[in-house]
Amino acid sequence: MPSDFVVIYKDIRNKPMINSPMDTADIRLLLPETIWLADEDFERAVEISNPVNGETHQWQTYLHVLGLLGFEQWLRIRVTDIPINREKCSILQPKYPHLLAAACNFKLGEFNLCLIATESLLDEVVHIPRAAIDLPSFAAHFYVLLEVNEEQEQVIIRGVLRHDQLVKYRQSVNLQPEPNWSYVLPLSLFEIEPNRLLHYSRFLVPTAIPLPVASANHRAKPSLTRAQVETLLSSLQSPDQPLWQSLTWEEGAIILQNPELLDILYQWQTQTERPISLSIRLREVLAILTQPAINAARWLQGELDEVAQSWELFVPEIPSLALYRSIDSIDQFEAAIAQLRAELDIPLAVHPTYQDIQLNEIPIRLCALSWVVESQRPVSPVTSDNSQKWSFMLILGTQSGMVLPCGIKLQVSNLRGILEESLLEMADPFLYVPPVEGDWGETLVVTIVSPEGITLTLPPYTFQPLQ
């Protein structure tokens, strides 16, 4: 290929008409646009695909990047007055390709495009990830089918499909997703004239093609037990292990739509020697996203919700919530809290809650306190305003009142990272975590680490006054 010959566009429609019978398959072969790739396109595809986990996913990424680069060149020749943006395209971010075999979030003006690249269409079917259709984070107004022929150094635009037409077809035939979280569509469903995309982008508004939106209960989350979390982490140690083999679709959807978790999963799969801090962080984020939270706001009324009771939290001053519990060391905790009240602004109405835990054969007791942070402006008592704050404080001791072992660690985190952590450097009956603040409705999680490095991530806490 001549060095100055970067891209050639072939349009078979410019050839003389052939007066002979022609079926739809013949038409499909004649009409597609063909884009020739340059050497730098292949270099860029290698560069982007190399960091991706697993050989299979690397190859899929390589094909999709070639398809994206070719398609983008085709667009830029034909569209000069509409912005083209691939900055947030999923295939260009290493954390997505092993979970999503498509180039989602390619922007043409205000339209979302999803590029589907394949080596061959001999079976006349197209596989589209379910996430690219059903999840608001990835759904597209248009799905562009690209055939990538690496040996011939070309990309062929095979068709365009509107999201509303896809949904209509799915409903008409009651199409069900495959076990691997994808939909299989007939090739004939795609419009073979790629210039239709240019027409749509000029004469339609994005709202003309409805996309899925987050539902009112989008915060509802599936529950993973500790055993399930450990199974998931074990299965994800292999970069080639598909997520759909370890999770239900509902669980996978939660993960796919949380970039923080995807970042950590990517680190987990790419590091051969995983530090304890990474393991803890992954368990914490999974707990926040997949486990029901204890509502600490109920403590202010002297109540424990069902989640708290299921984890056997108790309140000694309320007999019904402390049945059959040993009260050894409780007096010591109360004395410690009284001392803290003199140093910190802890309201008198706060009810401490306790949880007895076995950590590496150490019988420890965790005391948690929560209260409303007084606002500088009046707030309606019947509305949960996200601008309101709550405080959360922890005291760790033993069930017997003996001193804690040196080297034990206690930390509080949210989705963004560690908020506070404390390490016991000298023998002491208690280890404190200073009060941390969160928004009403924000979820926090607690992790305890033994001196030997044994970790325990507890169920998450939140603060919902109206529940």
In this structure, of 25-34, 171-180, 264-273, the range with the lowest mean pLDDT score is 25-34
Spacing of C-alpha 52 from chain mean position: 17
CATH 3.40.1350 domain span(s) along the chain:
29-208
Cα–Cα distance list, 378 to 20, 37, 282, 338, 374 (Å) = 81, 63, 38, 29, 9
- Residue spans in the chain of domains classed CATH 2.60.40.10: 294-373+388-463
Does the pTM surpass 0.85? The reply is no
pLDDT at 312: 76
Band of residue 379 on the pLDDT scale cut at 50, 70, 90: very low
Euclidean distance between CA atoms 235 and 229, whole angstroms: 10
At 48, the amino acid letter reads I
Note the pLDDT tens digit of each residue in 207-250: 999 999 876 444 455 666 677 777 777 767 766 677 888 778 88
Q: Nearest-CA neighbor of 461 among 432, 431, 441?
A: 441
CA atoms of 445 and 294, how far apart (whole Å):
10
175: left (phi over 0), alpha (psi -120 to 50) or beta: beta
Q: Please tell me what DSSP assigns to residue 251.
A: H
CA 461 – CA 467 distance, rounded (Å): 13
Whole-number pLDDT of residue 239: 64
Least confident of 57-71, 106-120, 261-275, 452-466: 261-275
In what helix (H) or strand (E) does residue 195 lie, and over which residues does it extend?
Answer: helix 195-203
Amino acid present at 238: S
**Residue 97 tokens, joined:** 């390709």
Q: What is the CA radius of gyration of the chain?
A: 28
The whole-number pLDDT of residue 170 equals 97
How many percent of the chain have pLDDT more than 90? 52
Helices (H) and strands (E) in the chain, counts: 12, 19
At the second CATH level, the architecture of 29-208 is 3-Layer(aba) Sandwich (3.40)
Statement: residue 347 has pLDDT above 50? yes
Specify whether the CB–CB gap between 132 and 102 falls below 8 A. Answer: yes
Question: What is 294-373+388-463's CATH number, 3.30.70.890, 3.40.50.150, 1.10.340.30, 2.60.40.10?
Answer: 2.60.40.10
The H-or-E segment that residue 67 falls in is helix 55-78
Checking if the pLDDT of 300 tops 90, the result is no
